[in-house]
Amino acid sequence: MKNKKRFLLSLGLVLGLSALLSACGVPKETPEQVIPKFKTALSQVVSAALSGDARITGSDPSDAIDATLTFKSKFDYADGQKNKGSADVGLKGMITRKGKKITGDTTFSFTSIGDDFYMNLTKLETDYEEIQKIKPLLTNYMNKWLHMAPDLLPENVKKLQEQPPANRDASRKLLAASNLFTVSKEYGIETVNGHESYRYGISLDRNGLREYNRQSSIIDGKELSAAELDDAVEIVDAATDVQVWIGIGDYFPYKLTALIDGNKLSSSTDLKFELALSASDFNKSPDIAAPAKSEEFNPVALLMGLSATQDGAGLPDAVPPVEE
């Protein structure tokens, strides 16, 4: 009877201790078990909601910057033929140039549906004199959705929108097979965006990142040179205190933070970047639609107006429409 009581007491102690350790955030799986599942889950993401901010600081004897970029976005590539995305972006802060302080606060939104790209400049506040001169002209373009012709978009934006489904599938397989980082520290279990998650400190893998960029460029039809690959892996030296929160059970990345030292990049900029990104709603097909009303963006009219401003000829009374 005593042995039975001791056994029950020991069993209860073990179960109680297990529950206590679990509540304190002791991982349920090892990183070696989690990371392969994480890479597979990440490679299968076709839609999600993202948000975050990046603080940029730096200074030298005559110049300085302290600004914060914020964004809230969502994307949906489930269609396979027509990629969709939208974002609200803000940039606020100050810079000092040759001892003169300049402040600014700008917000804008964009939406992309396949080849159609729309942009809306919603705020432009600054004491920078050159912007103040042309602000009356820019006001004609503010707080309205402008449709951008495809040939006005940067090449990297067009490539993202036009990526064939076969290339996208190859990119996903490459991501799942690549070794981009290793876990350097385990922090335990935390709840992020309502999801219980493993919190890890990670170190980027130079060779793995280099090989991933090499093969990724081949998939996109442009193989990178050795010098370009060197530039692509500079982030390994510049990024410190990189942390990721990976969901228990679904293995999606719900949060990422990092510090980046600009002095360790080839540009050797005396800048520090503090990044914090959050993600949610994986593969839930967010509602992304073109604006109900938009106008065609006329770059010629804008350039003419800017030229007139620089020449002192004054601003046009209205922005000419685009001939369709």
The predicted-structure confidence for 120-171, as pLDDT tens digits, reads as follows 999 999 998 888 888 888 888 899 999 988 776 666 665 655 566 677 789 8
3-state SS class at 40 = helix
- pLDDT above 60: residue 203: yes
Phi-psi category of 241—alpha, beta or left, where left has phi over 0 and alpha has psi -120 to 50? left
Worst-scoring range by mean pLDDT, 5-14, 155-164, 189-198, 235-244?
5-14
Token pair 């299968």 in the structure block, residue:
44
Residues 247-265 have a mean pLDDT of 93
pLDDT at residue 18 in the model: 44
pLDDT at residue 156 in the model: 61
- pLDDT above 50: residue 11: no
CA distance linking residue 109 with residue 115, whole number of Å: 17
100: Cα separation from own chain's centroid: 31
Which alpha helices (DSSP H) does the chain contain, by range?
A: 2-23, 31-43, 129-138, 155-162, 165-177, 206-219, 226-232, 235-238, 299-311
Token pair 């990178």 in the structure block, residue:
224
Residues 221-248 have a mean pLDDT of 92
Domain chopping of the chain, boundaries: 30-48+164-288, 84-162+295-319
pLDDT at residue 198 in the model: 98
3-state SS class at 258 = strand
Cα radius of gyration (the chain): 25
Residues 291-301 have a mean pLDDT of 86
